[in-house]
Structure 1
Amino acid sequence: MKHLSFTKIVVTLFVVVLLFSAGLDVYGQHNNIDYKQWSRIAISTVKKEYPAAQLTDYKYVGRAEVTAEEAKDIFNIVVKEGNESFNVKAEVFFNPKDGKLITVQLERVAS
């Protein structure tokens, strides 16, 4: 009986350490360059493109590696211009090694 309890404790500790390590790895990668700074750039670029519009919602879609020197964060932004609402996909390209902005691309997409 003691052997079974010891085994359960060891397995439980192993699983906890494994989950903790995986969480740190994902957290570290995701926050290497914080997506929030790119969201501000995406939003300000959409505001410049549609100055008379209201931005009613936005969603961080995720990050994609383009090359070793280029990554992009993708955002969906809901724009209301007059009586019309539509979505804009904003892709913010940056260098993941030094955190410098490369470019921002906007694409109006069907709602």
Structure 2
Amino acid sequence: MKKWTVIFSLVFFLLGSQQTFAQQDYEKYGRIATAVVKEDYTGEKLADYKYNGRKSLAEGQVQDTFTFDVVKDGKDVTVKVNIIHNPKKPADLTISVNEL
């Protein structure tokens, strides 16, 4: 019985570690997206921010998508930020910012 308890504990620990890593990864790219929007919309108010998720692409790359609500000249503007990167090469980023 102890053997199964140890195995289940190890599995839950590893699953928890994966979730923590994914959250840290999401937070890292969220900070990058926020910095880019603040730079592009200097002096404007960032009203809201949402992580839309991750999509797998070809050649080991992934795309994280974020949506920002920005108050630009008194009007609400939605800004979408896509960050394409390879988790094995974290320094290689492609960032696109689109006003919707």
Task: Give the TM-score taking structure 1 as reference length.
Answer: 0.68
> Post-superposition shift, 1:27?
2.0
Q: Where does 1:28-107 land on structure 2 (aligned, <5 Å)?
A: 30-31=22-23, 34-107=25-98
Aligned residues: 96
Identical counterparts, % of pairs? 28
The Cα RMSD (Å) is 2.8
Q: Distance in 1 between matches of 2:43 and 2:96?
A: 19
Unpaired runs of at least 5, structure 2 = 1-7
Unpaired runs of at least 5, structure 1 = 1-16
1:27 corresponding residue in structure 2: 19
| 1:7-27, Cα deviation, whole Å (9 max, x unpaired) | xxxxxxxxxx6xx59x54962
Higher-Rg structure is 1
Structure in which a larger fraction of residues adopt strand: 2
> Post-superposition shift, 1:82?
2.0
Q: Secondary structure at the match of 1:34?
A: helix
Task: Give the TM-score taking structure 2 as reference length.
Answer: 0.74
2:5 corresponding residue in structure 1: none
